[in-house]
Amino acid sequence: MSRLIGYVANRADRMRDAFHQERAVLHLDTAASTDASGWGVGFYHGDEVLHKKRPTGAAERVDWQQIAGDVRSDCAVLHLRQPTVGDFRAENAHPFRMRSWLFAHQGTIGRFDEMRESLAEMMPDFLQRNIRGQTDSEYLFHTLLALLHDAGQLDNPDVQETQALTAISAAVTLVERLAAEVGSTQNSLSFILTNGRTMYALSHGAPMVYVERQGLHDPPDDYTPPPAGSTPLRYVLVVSGVDEIPAGYQVVPERHVAIIDRRLNVTVHPL
């Protein structure tokens, strides 16, 4: 079992508090699992794209509030992985990063080994060389990057939503076509992609939900109120891997993309 989380906020100093407020949704009883896994978090600090990743042993609990405790960022992608393609090592751990982009995937591309070379051949050399691990997820990420590169948008910090959606739709179509050619019908492509300014969350095989919050209504016991006159916290949280729709959350329909912009506006678009 895995968990995929996207976080966009108007402040960089309250991620831990927001995760405490959403703890009922974020909690995953990893201690009940006997499989080793690992977590990763990618986030933006000024103009830098940073990440940290760590393997977890069997039955080790993952505490998202603790992980987020020293992260100061208004945009982050977090992932708990239990390997399906590729073992757990840093190169295979999500989220993946390339230039200003972060990406994490929940799901599996069936019979991926039979289409690996076909995907690689469609990428420019510099993207092929950037692939470090073995996973279907990293190849999916680089397929998206290749399509953004083809459109001249890979390094554009203000990619238009229509261009990003076109790249996402084309990547999904390509993967599904190659999967059909090798006889795979079980493909889950839910992912989160962001360049720190806009976040794209695709629901495809693994259910995805999101919530828009204004203020902290359930702060932790050690909460330190901000100075008087500070901007109240607002955030959007996207989560994939939940079994039931939590109260107050909205569903991203299957084969739809939720887009969260820097003003924290959420719009949902079909592929």
Q: What is the pLDDT of residues 44-100, one digit of tens each?
A: 998 899 988 887 766 667 788 888 888 999 999 999 866 554 455 666 788 999 999
* Token digits of residue 259: 């887009």
The CA distance from 259 to 159, in Å, is 12
3-270: in CATH 3.40.50.720 = no
- Position 85 scores a pLDDT of 47
Between CA 137 and CA 169, with CA 211 as vertex, the angle to 5 degrees is: 40
Of 2-11, 88-97, 242-251, least confident by mean pLDDT is: 88-97
The CA distance from 69 to 50, in Å, is 15
- Angle separating helix axes 136-150 and 161-181, nearest 10 degrees: 130
**How many residues does this entry show for the chain?**
271
Confidence of residue 16 (pLDDT cuts 50, 70, 90): very high
- Position 36 scores a pLDDT of 46
Domain residue ranges of the chain, discontinuous segments joined by +: 3-270
Pairing of strands 101-106, 96-98: antiparallel
- Position 34 scores a pLDDT of 45
The percent of residues in the chain predicted with pLDDT above 70, rounded, is 91
For the stretch 139-174, pLDDT in tens is 999 999 999 999 999 999 999 999 999 999 999 999
- Position 106 scores a pLDDT of 92
Closest CA to 189 of 249, 110, 77, 128: 110
With tokens 């203020």, the residue in question is 215
The percent of residues in the chain predicted with pLDDT above 90, rounded, is 68
Numbers of helices and strands, H then E, in the chain: 7, 13
